Structure 1
């Protein structure tokens, strides 16, 4: 379904030319009639024709990229123009062409979008809205005590909701339970690789991301997340708080040029604007590791598996300009008390070499010359 921003708009003939300025979309390699009244066309990625040409009609360039029509009768000319077609000659699922046309001293250019139709993806809301719409996902590594506390707390408040766990522990343990899927990965594959695996198995409209050392409490209201997302369908991600920590940030990005990359800054605690109709909700560029997201939106951006240990902002960096994100007060999850785990800490807090490799990766991948977190 298209939006008003995609609908066909015709330029009114304040000159002798009437032509589409937006919304003329054609299927690849398929013929489509050009709306409006024009006279001489030139295109690059397709060919032009006039359908049902009769003897005596003055049409030059049939089936070519340059088409000229002439007539001494305005009525006849307009009739010919109403049958001008455009057929793309290259296959691409989404590209554009420009149509140049002229009449006497008047010239104009309008775009043609060459695009394959996409199939909508719908989700059955069913009954028990929260349970049917949301899957809880987490990634675990060497923290089975914390993981079991998390699972038990989830079941206390949401007995039937689906839980998906990605596990790359060195010596995996068995984790079972009702409506629970436990996926064993090769050892120490990393944080973002595990997130990709967990989310790849989700079949519901939304995912709720939680860390394996969180704990659900009376303020952990998934249905409130869902209510916000259902009322604001443009939103892709809504974050809450972990304990009292409602971490969020803005990303300030200055584009580079052909000679050098751009600059990125992460501004802690900076809001963009209030979400209309929701007190305590603000648009931001990134949120804490406790958020509800549209499954298809998260899959579209994905998690860079190069980032194995310390990573968070990077997902939102990859989604900058694509994801609409908000953070809302009053939606929180608890954080378990930290346990002494020397083996886990060696992986969780890698050395400086890992940090340098991570920065080098971003400088190249995101074409940057400076980063400031």
Structure 2
């Protein structure tokens, strides 16, 4: 188990289809500070060539599944980890093993969405969520003209004044989230076997600096980068949005890459997104604008191995009337960017 010597063992406990799953993975353990500085810390130390009653195995990963938390705890008491490499400087960081326990269950994540003129699609979405996550909390912001009652266990339905817009609905939904993370989905999405929330949580927990991790929608990952060129003090700078442009991979997760913005299916740290917020002045087309406002505040990544499906439903004429932007909407959006963010130009490519 040589590779265990350089990194801590982080067992990840997650609930999937009613099973309690313990996964041991290898990540470096840092203490999170109240300042921009962080530092590595020592956890549980295993003496060279000795055994300790702690989860471990001869492989990189140990998975223990159980439907009973009590049974799982009983198993953990009897599983031991054995150090197999001797070094005189065993107290040095990187030459000993650390043990850190992280518990994940449905109480860590809330699913949030906004609905408008698509109750049928919303009900299909909720049914698909319950198929894979039977108890996870779902928050629905609703600005329909004729509200319907949306009921169900762990579903919170908030009715807004009619046609307030997408970002106003996002603000309302996210303001009611009390969990560490929330998963944003559109009301016409569809959960599948590939919609693994726990995979996104694993990445966020392993890389605490990340604020948003996106997946893909019907195999469309959609990500973009934002480049800001500072201009003169009197006229502002220029912002360039480049589609399908990503940065380097996330350490330890080659399927994930850093980017500036991601598709409209993402897991986010609640407190980080609440600090940036969604500008309620933008009512129609406004997805990229959230990431533009978050530039310099949010660290974003995209992971291609987690996906969600999209329902194939024809849009009604009434819905299209509100969905499609008018010329004055596009002009107002640019004016808002220029004045709010002190820009002289925005370019899309």
| TM exceeding 0.5 | yes
Q: How many residues align?
A: 255
Per the alignment, residue 144 of structure 2 pairs with 169
Long gaps (5+) in structure 2: 1-32, 40-100
Quick one: which of 37, 51, 54 aligns to 1:5? Answer: 37
8 Å contact from structure 1 (residues 207, 294) kept in 2: yes
The answer to whether 1:357 aligns with 2:332 is: yes
Q: Structure 1 residue runs of 4+, over 6 Å off? A: none
Alignment of 1:14-163 (within 5 A): 129-163=104-138
TM-score of the two chains, using structure 1 as the length reference: 0.66
Determine which of 172, 176, 188 is the counterpart of 1:213: 188
Deviation at 1:329, TM superposition (A): 1.2
Partner of 1:22: none
Q: Secondary structure at the match of 1:256?
A: strand
SS in 1 for 2:283: coil
Shift of 1:256: 2.3
Shift of 1:171: 1.1
CA RMSD of aligned residues (A): 1.6
Local SS of the residue matching 1:326: strand
Q: Deviations over 1:148-177 (max 9, x none)?
A: 000000000000000000000111111111
Evaluate the alpha carbon distance shift between residue 288 and residue 4 of structure 1 in structure 2; reply closer, same or farther with a 3 A threshold.
Answer: closer
Q: Deviations over 1:38-89 (max 9, x none)?
A: xxxxxxxxxxxxxxxxxxxxxxxxxxxxxxxxxxxxxxxxxxxxxxxxxxxx
How far the C-alpha of 1:145 sits from its partner, in A, is: 0.5
Structure possessing the higher relative contact order (Cα contacts under 8 Å, 6 or more residues apart)? 2
Q: Is the 8 A contact 1:240 1:291 kept in 2?
A: yes
Tell me the equivalent position of 1:246. 221
1:192, 1:307 within 8 Å by CA — same for their partners in 2? yes
| Post-superposition CA distance 1:327-353 (Å, at most 9, x none) | 011100000002231101100002111
Does 1:328 pair with 2:307?
no
Deviation of 1:214 after TM superposition, in Å, equals 0.1
Rounded to whole Å, the distance in 1 between the matches of 2:327 and 2:144 is: 23
Q: Which residue of 2 aligns with 1:232?
A: 207
Distance 1:238 1:182, change over 3 A: same
Q: Which has the larger radius of gyration?
A: 1
How far is 1:369 from its partner?
1.0
